[in-house]
Amino acid sequence: MKTFITQEDTKLIEDRLVKFEANTGCELLLVLARASDLYPAASWRFGVLAGAALTFAVSLFVDLHHGYLWPLAMLTTTLLMVWLGHFDGPKRLALSELETERETAEKAVECFHTLGTSRVTHKVTAMIMVSILERKITVLVDEKLKSKITQAELDELVDIMRGHFRAGRMDLGFTKSIESLEEKILKDFGGRVSEVNPGELSDKIHFL
């Protein structure tokens, strides 16, 4: 997972995280996941479709005389493509938007509660989660932050990150979105959202 982000960039992001929490009084959870789900069905979808296409392509150049050769070729190529479908690139081709939206949303909520809000006493928590396989970014905030920060403003943070990620700058994507969230909190709450000094959660990126 850390091949997606260097140690230097990780340190830069985590330093900005510590500063954010000191300035806002809010715990911020950063999660970088390789994938939100294993998607076994996607591997099989890719295998069957790619296997059928490859078998058809082979039949254009190789004369499958005997009746058993076609199903044998189909079985062989399908199994090969199913194996290949376990890798991120091919698997991504077989994923549907509805599927990835559902799985990343469920994973984000799970992480937010198990790694975040359930572990802090003052319950002022936000989370930025990036799922690499699905290329999805999720920003969640607790009820207190949600009372002032709108969904449209959270979507702005996602847009900021997505723009930098497309340019190959994951470090800037994280740091700029953290800065933007800090500005919104300080503006909307007129300063720190909590007088409690945050520090109950790890100030490290969670690599899943």
Three-class HEC string of the chain: CHHHCCHHHHHHHHHHHHHHHHHHCCEEEEEEECCCCCCHHHHHHHHHHHHHHHHHHHHHHCCCCCCCHHHHHHHHHHHHHHHHCCCHHHHHHCCCHHHHHHHHHHHHHHHHHHHHHHHCCCCCEEEEEEECCCCEEEEEECHHHHCCCCHHHHHHHHHHHHHHHHCCCHHHHHHHHHHHHHHHHHHHCCCCCCCCCCCCCCCCCEEC
Token pair of 4, please?
């997606």
The domain that holds 109 is classified in CATH as 3.10.310.50
- pLDDT score at 1: 43
Q: How high is the pLDDT of residue 134?
A: 83
Do 50 and 21 lie in one domain? The reply is no
In terms of domains, do 133 and 157 share one? yes
pTM confidence score: 0.79
Residue 21 and residue 116 in one domain = yes
| pLDDT 10s digits, 50-104 | 777 777 776 666 665 666 666 776 777 778 877 877 788 888 887 778 888 888 8
- The whole domain housing 85 covers 40-93
Same domain for 21 and 106? yes
| 1-53 pLDDT, tens digit each | 444 677 888 888 888 888 888 888 888 888 888 888 787 887 888 878 877 77
Domain count within the chain: 2
Tens of pLDDT, residue by residue over 109-157, are 888 888 766 566 666 788 888 888 888 888 888 888 888 888 888 888 8
Alpha-carbon distance of 137 to 176, in angstroms, equals 14
Closest listed residue to residue 201, CA positions, set 82, 28, 57, 15: 28
Model pLDDT for residues 161-190, shown as the tens digit of each residue: 888 888 878 888 888 888 888 888 888 888
